[in-house]
């Protein structure tokens, strides 16, 4: 098929490359001309495993291209995907302005029947809004052309997005049109071979399914963070608790890892948007409010432990920080716990020496030059002159360090581990004080 994807951000770029890899002719449209030029030269603006090779191969073989020409994108393809961002408004609702803008452009330029597919994460009712905007733009242009709008939410994990696209666990299609269902079944056939993963439902249910999925995962994280806080107070080990409850097949192990809160471009934004949707619908989302409140508290928990350890005085202290991205295998720092940690330390008069395998440039872009931030070339360089080590992201490169070197370099042999990547007893046996999440207080032996 000929496919156009509007939006060369995280979702749009990955989906466009994967469709092209399956043999379709794909054009990705973005209004950022500089980004378009860079993408056509094979320069990828995000870190995502396997994506650069996928984009380069399909550019070279002519199945994938990038353009800022909206009209060309509308008229190239039979199927048009909307994959633009929906960031949070100040009231927590999802900003649909980019979706509305694409819908208006489609209606303005459409010259033949099209199937419009909403891939963006959007509030319930957006399918109808997009349909109305396209129809209105066509009326203004003096045209009447048949079209349909389907909802097809994405379920990509940053760091595994290519895999999630090529081997999805489910493909949600929100449509009441048999023709649209048949077209999308054919489009997704290469990714739907071992068993039928395609689930068809009405558009409103499809839109809410996306939010419900992310809210459920966020709930599991916040629940375990709450249990971790209780474990700290009662002298239990949350890692043992995690294994004990995860062994129950009704619960499972996924998303039961306590830490310093969830971040990224999806969970915080989507929980806020769902809370806002519930309020507008006249419902009080008790659980979602608690999930959000626990996550906000969790992001300050490690700094509170640090402040207590140093007697409340962090002024002129220097902290080594391992990890900036909100999770491994990405350079995304949106709402990353590391941001909250650094800003709290700075507010207390401390300096940070930070290292991340992929997010250094993003951190420099986010903060610019600061006297109290040093971005260093390696995990070990971050330790130089530091009073303590903080771990904010569980990159594999951090998980087997030389503890003797850590102890030798730090002014105070202490680790504050926000991701529970070490065994407390082992670290304490190395003569290092170790504070994690829900694992009790483990001073050095």
Residues paired with 171 in a beta bridge: 198
Cβ atoms of residues 153 and 172 within 8 Å = yes
Calculate the alpha carbon distances from 274 to 124, 225, 239 in Å: 9, 21, 30
Nearest to 397 by CA among 338, 329, 339, 320: 329
What is the total residue count of the chain? 445
Is 363 catalytic? The answer is no
Both tokens of 310, joined, read 């140093």
Please give the angle made by the CA atoms of 36, 173 and 222, to the nearest 5 degrees: 85
DSSP symbols for 93-146: -B--HHHHHHHHHHHHH--S-EEEEE-S---TTHHHHHHHHHHHHHHHTT----
- Mention every residue, 6+ apart, whose C-beta is less than 8 A from residue 133: 100, 103, 104, 107
Q: Burial level of 56, CB count in 10 A (0-12/13-18/19+)? A: middle
Selected catalytic residue, list 28, 165, 266, 363: 266
Look up tokens 């489910």; give the residue: 170
Catalytic residues: 266
């Amino acid at each position: 098929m000929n496919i156009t994807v509007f939006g060369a951000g995280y979702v749009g770029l990955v989906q466009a490359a994967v469709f092209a890899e399956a043999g379709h002719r794909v054009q990705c449209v973005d209004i950022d001309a500089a980004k378009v030029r860079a993408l056509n030269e094979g320069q990828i603006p995000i870190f995502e495993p396997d994506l650069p090779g996928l984009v380069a191969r399909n550019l070279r073989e002519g199945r994938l291209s990038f353009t800022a020409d909206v009209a060309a994108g509308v008229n190239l393809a039979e199927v048009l995907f909307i994959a633009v961002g929906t960031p949070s408004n100040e009231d927590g609702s999802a900003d649909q302005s980019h979706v509305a803008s694409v819908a208006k452009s489609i209606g303005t330029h459409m010259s033949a029947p099209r199937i419009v597919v909403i891939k963006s994460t959007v509030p319930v009712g957006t399918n109808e809004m997009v349909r109305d905007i396209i129809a209105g733009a066509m009326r203004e242009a003096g045209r009447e052309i048949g079209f349909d709008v389907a909802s097809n939410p994405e379920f990509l994990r940053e760091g595994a997005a290519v895999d999630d696209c090529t081997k999805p666990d489910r493909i949600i299609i929100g449509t009441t049109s048999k023709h649209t269902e048949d077209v999308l079944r054919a489009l997704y056939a290469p990714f739907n071979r071992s068993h039928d993963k395609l689930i068809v439902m009405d558009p409103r249910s499809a839109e809410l399914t996306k939010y419900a999925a992310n809210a459920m995962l966020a709930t599991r994280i916040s629940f375990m963070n709450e249990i971790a806080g209780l474990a700290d107070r009662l002298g239990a080990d949350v890692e043992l608790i995690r294994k004990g409850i995860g062994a129950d097949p009704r619960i499972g192990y996924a998303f039961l890892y306590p830490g310093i809160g969830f971040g990224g471009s999806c969970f915080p934004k989507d929980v806020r948007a769902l809370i806002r949707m519930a309020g507008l619908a006249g419902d009080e989302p008790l659980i979602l409010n608690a999930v959000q409140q626990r996550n906000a508290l969790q992001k300050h928990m490690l700094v509170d432990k640090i402040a207590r350890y140093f007697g409340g005085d962090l002024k002129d202290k220097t902290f080594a920080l391992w990890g900036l991205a909100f999770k491994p295998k990405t350079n995304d720092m949106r709402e990353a716990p590391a941001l909250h940690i650094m800003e709290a330390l700075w507010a207390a008069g401390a300096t940070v020496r930070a290292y991340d395998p992929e997010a250094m440039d993003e951190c420099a872009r986010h903060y610019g030059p600061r006297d109290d931030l040093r971005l260093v070339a390696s995990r070990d360089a971050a330790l130089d002159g530091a009073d303590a080590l903080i771990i904010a992201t569980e990159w594999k490169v951090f998980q087997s360090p030389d503890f003797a070197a850590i102890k030798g370099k730090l002014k105070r042999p202490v680790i504050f581990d926000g991701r529970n990547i070490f065994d407390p007893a082992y670290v304490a046996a190395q003569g290092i004080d170790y504070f994690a999440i829900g694992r009790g207080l483990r001073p050095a032996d």
